[in-house]
Amino acid sequence: MINVGIAGASGYTGVELVKLISNHPKAKLCAVTSNSYKGKSLTDIFPSMRGFENLICEDLDIKSLSKKIDVIFLALPHKVSMQHVPTMLGNNIRVVDLSADYRFTDVAAYESAYQTHTSKDLLKQSVYGLSELYRDRIKTSNLVGNPGCYPTSILLPLLPLLKEGLIQPAGIISDSKSGVSGAGRSLSLSAHFCEANESFNPYKIGNHRHTPEINEILSLHSQQPVSITFVPHLLPLTRGMMSTIYARVTDTATQDKIRKTYDTYYGDEPFVRLLNKGMYPAISHVKGTNCCDIGIHFDETSRQLIMVSAIDNLLKGAAGQAVQNMNIMFGLDDETGLNRVQGPL
């Protein structure tokens, strides 16, 4: 049994972690922390849990935590994570950090998008938690920087084709759409029901903080600087994310090679599902699952490839992938605690 703590349990990502760990057959939820709800029980915050889970939110006291947990999930704001991680590691707590603080290799990229990095040394040791592509390094890691939701939905379809030279690194476009839960549980006019409901809009065109994260990983794997065009939009729904990605293929690419490449990379992966020709993802097909569904359309004439990916932004885009990473870190099958059959509603 893995003893688990969750920091920041009262946000939307935090509570998804609570659900996953509470229901996990090989993990035990031993501690939850919350800044805003200190001293309250989880069921005070989330009445849906009443009768099934009743931990009290405690302070983030690492010494005390270190006595009861093996690993901690940090569902904390950027910047707050890196204030705690060094001490956690020093107390033998393995960390899956869901903030951006340990996702970057390039400090400058992080600092241009976020703020001064106060834990630079650990960037060499931290592993980017895109489970399918970084599994080997995650296995032995003590510190995983769990990917952003948009990057997950974009990197999973792109990386295999870029690595195998089937698409051109230049001119890639991702038109992405996220449900409102992606903005978290804090209050803002754009998350007001009457503003988001029955509407749809792009936001942060040209300056979303997930862009440098995506570009860094793409560049690493294609061995040249890649800079994608990324336009995020806000969907009037609670959970789910879709990226419709446009790329030019290289001369050697064929539909068959593309499908085979995906099969090589993901054929044995439980959570990446390549759809048959003519089939495309829908958010309702992945909601409540840890899956990333990928559908492709290849136009031979224009040599343009359209990749459509869908994830649940709170699962494969956050808490689900974090648990998948914990499974990998502790030698469990990826699917452990994540393989429930899910329906359409």
DSSP tag of 70: S
Q: Could you tell me if 93 and 60 are in contact, meaning their C-beta atoms sit under 8 angstroms apart?
A: no
Q: How far is the CB of 290 from a second copy (least distance, A)?
A: 11
Q: Which of 149, 194, 291, 292 is catalytic?
A: 149
96 within 8 A of 88, measured Cβ to Cβ: no
Window 47 to 76, contacts with a second copy (CB under 8 A):
47-53
* Distance separating alpha carbons of residues 75 and 97, to the nearest angstrom: 7
Please give the residues from 229 up to 248 whose contact with a second copy meets the rule CB under 8 A.
229, 231, 233, 235-240, 242, 244, 246
238, 104, 101, 156: CA torsion to nearest 10: 20
Rank residues 198 and 256 by Cβ distance to a second copy and give the closer one: 198
From CA 143, how far away is CA 329, in angstroms rounded?
Answer: 10
Which residue stretch of 41-49, 71-79, 122-130, 253-261 sits at the interface with a second copy (rule: CB under 8 A)?
41-49
**Planar angle of CA 20, 26, 31, nearest 5 degrees:** 60
By CB under 8 A, tell whether 139 contacts a second copy: no
Judged by CB under 8 A, the stretch of 12-20, 71-79, 91-99, 149-157 that binds a second copy is: 12-20
Q: What angle do CA 244, 108, 203 make, to 5 degrees?
A: 35
Residue 291 interacts with a second copy (CB under 8 A): yes or no? yes
The reply to whether 226 sits near a second copy by the rule CB under 8 A is no
Q: Is 149 a catalytic residue?
A: yes
DSSP per residue over 261-297, as a string? HHHHHHTT-SSEEEPPTT----HHHHTTSS-EEEEEE
Residue 321 found at the interface with a second copy (CB under 8 A): no
- Cβ at position 68, least distance to a second copy in Å: 19
Q: Which residue stretch of 82-90, 133-141, 202-210, 257-265 sits at the interface with a second copy (rule: CB under 8 A)?
A: 202-210
User: Is 58 or 195 the residue whose CB approaches a second copy more closely?
Assistant: 195
Would you please indicate which residues are annotated as catalytic (active-site) residues?
149
